[in-house]
Each structure stands twice: as structure tokens, then as C-alpha cells.
Amino acid sequence: MRTTRVFSVEEPQNFKKRLLSWSCQFQEIAWLDSNEDDSAAGEYEAVLAAEAFTAIKTDYVQAFDKLKEYQETTADWIFGYLSYDLKNDVENLKSANFDGLQFPDLYFFQPQKLIFIKGSEVEFHYLRMVDDEIEDDFHEIQDFEYQIEFNHRAVEAQARIPKDEYLNKIGLMLHHIHRGDIYEANFCQEYYSENVHIDPFNIYRSLNEISTPPFAAYLKLEHFNLISASPERYLKKKGDILLTQPIKGTARRSADPVEDRQIAEDLANDPKEQSENVMIVDLVRNDLSRIAKKGSVKVDELCKVYTFKQVHQMISSVTAEIAVDIPPVEALRTSFPMGSMTGAPKISAMKIIEDLEESKRGLYSGAVGYFSPEGDFDFNVVIRSILYNSKNKYLSFSVGGAITAKSTPEKEYEECLLKAKAMREVLANL
């Protein structure tokens, strides 16, 4: 089905920049970048999928069944996203909050052109209908000039929920926790801007440069744009092994190395952050146990602090061996939405989240990634991300955090501001 050619390049990082700029000519783009982060345990340093041959785009109704049929029928590489609101397909839930972005709930495509970067090697995997373009494309990319910066006004995003109202909603969330309805829930708020004209590509480059996260993504599907600096993996399947790496626990960075180390150490020893993380680890263990071989679910790493450019994060790693005859899409359906963006118990938390939040989450706190022809997959968690509909000129980003019995509303608000910092900075410096 695909023709493969491998080329060696002398300056892989320069080739990567040229490749991304070259990709802007296509209507459909999926760009996934690990930013050379070895801890990401990815199969490739960077991947570009471009120019759809086939695609699936749908709302949440029977979405996972439709994706399963598409994935199995195509039996090829497919790239795309799962929105948070696919929860309504998995459980008897609803999404009735305001939706300014109007993204489809699920969107995947089969690329005509697929390019992987692995160290100094670049692999071209083209459908046979376009494989005569491989050689020309390689030389064109090598000589491609970086895209010229796009000048436009800075974007000021406003909070959908005023601070006082946000603090009050955290109080209501705590009431549910103290009453025993839930143990933990991830509460999010949206920042938005209307009637704005931006260049998503250059915003992605800027955001990625100041964040360099291990699960960065740039997605352009028609007029739907994702600019993601995600540090979190949702779920990966390689052969029979599943890996999920939930994040719970965030702390600021400091320019002072001594203070920065102390902040990371304090995060590692913070009982509130540890309890948040352990609750979510228990939730994802339970999710995976429904599709795993008995006794195969293991916590390989618990509450380890990793350092990124913008923040320190507490991350755990859970693995499992998938049971025989479980289709790849079923592994996603069973564990979706990811525990780190919902809460415990999961269904109760999602109902309360829907009641207290003001905006439909959509792609935010969903997942972006790919399936291979063999049925392997890798998906991130869509956080630290800007979403933009270039048709209705609506821009949005959301931030949130886990609320537990030990949460204080003011500190939760400060954590939201910390998580929003990089996105606000990029939009303000256009």
C-alpha cells in the first residue's frame, strides 16, 4: 500500500524545521514532535502526516464503533483526535455547555504523505498514488526556506468564568467531595477571544519553542486548528503492551537553580499532590484491568517529578498487557476519557464537571495521536493547548486542576494562571 524510502540528513534539526514549514501547503496536517525527549518513549522523534486520502469526521454518536470500523478497514496509518465529549458515547452523559469552537467530536484521516524523523534518518512512507513525488519532495524540503513570520495583533484572551465565580465553583466542588459524592475531580475554565485572525503555524512554533514538551502537536484539519504543548501521554500500545502516564501535580520553575531544585523537591514530597496522583493511578489501573490480562497491570513509576521548561510535573507510569482479541480501539474506549482529566469515581466526577463548568471542553482534555497499520497507537492528552477555528475566528484555551478535600480555592486559581502562562505569553507577543 505504501512505498518507503529512507534518506540520511546531516542536520536533522534543520530538516525538521524545513519539513514543518513545507507542510503548510496542505489542507490536512498532523505534526507530532517529542522535542528529543527520551523520557517520552516514543517510536519517532517527529512525524508529519499530510494530505488526506480518506477521512472520518463525526459527532459522539457511536463514534468509537465508527472509528473501529475505519481503523480496521483502512489497515493503514491514520492520524487524528478524540474529543473529551466522546464520554457521551462511552457513558450515558451529555455536553450542554457553550461551544464556541464547533469542532467535530472525532476526526481522523489517512495521509497520502507520511514522513518520520529518527535521528539522522528520514523515512518517507507515501501511498503508491503519490510515490513518484518522494524524491522531488525530499529535495524540495531540504531547500525549503523557513516560513516568514506573520505579523498581526496580540490576542488578549478573557476568562469565561470571573475569578469570584471560579472560587465559588471550587467551593461547590469541595462540597461534593465533603459530602462523599466524589473523591477528586478535574475542574477547568476557558479563556477565549472572538473575531481574531491568527497564523496557527507560527503560534505553534513559538509555543513549542518556549515549552519544548514531549508530546507537542500541531493539527490542521480544514479550519480546525490545534496548537499543543502537551507534556502528558494518555495511552500508548506497542504490541501487547499498554502504557499510560497520568500527570497530577504541578509547580512553577525558578531562574535560581537552588530555589528551582527546592521547588521540585517540595513538589515530590507534597502530600496533597501525591494523594491526587495516587487517586488517578488507581483509576487508570482499574480502567486498564478491564481489558488487560489478569495480573498484568503494574505501576512502573509512582509520583516521579519531571522538569519541563515552564513547570515541574508529577508523573506516574502504569503498564498492562492487553488481553487476547481486544481490538485497539476498544483499549481507548475502555479508558476514555483519561483519568487525569476527569476524577474519581469517574462517572460521578464527569457529571459534576459538566454541571459546574461553563464551556464544552471539546478537543481540550481529549487526545491526539495515530494508529499504525499493525494496530499500535500513541495518544497524548490535549492540555497546554490553543484551539482555533479559522472559519468563525474563535480562539480558546482551557486550564484546570484536580480538586481534592485538601484543595484551597485561591491556590487552585493560582495553579490555573501558572498553567496558562506560556499560552498567554505566546498570544501577547505576536
Instruction: From residue 178, give the alpha-carbon distance in Å to each of 172, 403, 405.
Output: 10, 11, 7
Residues in the chain, how many? 430
365 contacts: CB under 8 Å, gap ≥ 6: 84, 186, 188, 337, 338, 341, 381, 382, 383, 398, 400
pLDDT at 310: 85
Say how far apart CA 336 and CA 318 lie, in whole Å: 15
pLDDT per residue as tens digits for the range 294-336 = 999 999 999 999 998 888 999 999 999 999 999 999 999 999 9
State how far the Cα of 345 lies from the Cα of 143, in Å rounded to an integer: 54
Q: In terms of DSSP bridges, do strands 224-230 and 385-389 run parallel, antiparallel, or are they unpaired?
A: antiparallel
Say whether pLDDT at 149 is over 90.
no
* For the chain, domain boundaries: 2-145+156-428
Task: Name the more confident of 360 and 154.
Answer: 360
Residues annotated as part of the active site: 232, 248
- Cα 234 to Cα 97, 145, 293: the distances in Å are 24, 35, 20
Say what the pLDDT of residue 152 is: 66
What three-state secondary structure class fits 97?
Answer: coil
In the block, cell 523557513 appears at 146
Residue 148: which pLDDT band, with cuts at 50, 70 and 90? low
pTM (two decimals)? 0.95
The answer on pLDDT for 393 being more than 80 is: yes
DSSP 38-51: GGG--S-SEEEEEE
Share of the chain above pLDDT 90, in %: 90
Please report the pLDDT score of residue 384 as a whole number.
Answer: 95
pLDDT-wise least confident of 37-51, 106-120, 279-293, 407-421 = 37-51
Q: Are 300 and 39 in contact (CB under 8 A)?
A: no
101 to 29, 189, 350, 391, 397: CA distances (angstroms): 19, 15, 21, 10, 10
Helices marked H in 336-408 — which ranges?
346-356
pLDDT tens-digit readout, 226-271: 999 999 999 999 999 999 999 988 899 999 999 999 999 999 999 9
At the top level of CATH, the class of 2-145+156-428 is alpha beta
pLDDT, tens digit, for every residue of 26-55?
A: 999 999 999 987 766 678 899 999 999 999
pLDDT score of 39: 65
Contact 8, 121 (CB under 8 A): yes
Q: How confident is the model at residue 430 (pLDDT cuts 50, 70, 90)?
A: low
Tell me the per-residue pLDDT of 49-85, one tens digit each, with 9 for 90 and over: 999 999 999 999 999 999 999 999 999 999 999 999 9
Q: What confidence tens digit (pLDDT) does each residue in 107-139 have?
A: 999 999 999 999 999 999 999 999 999 999 999
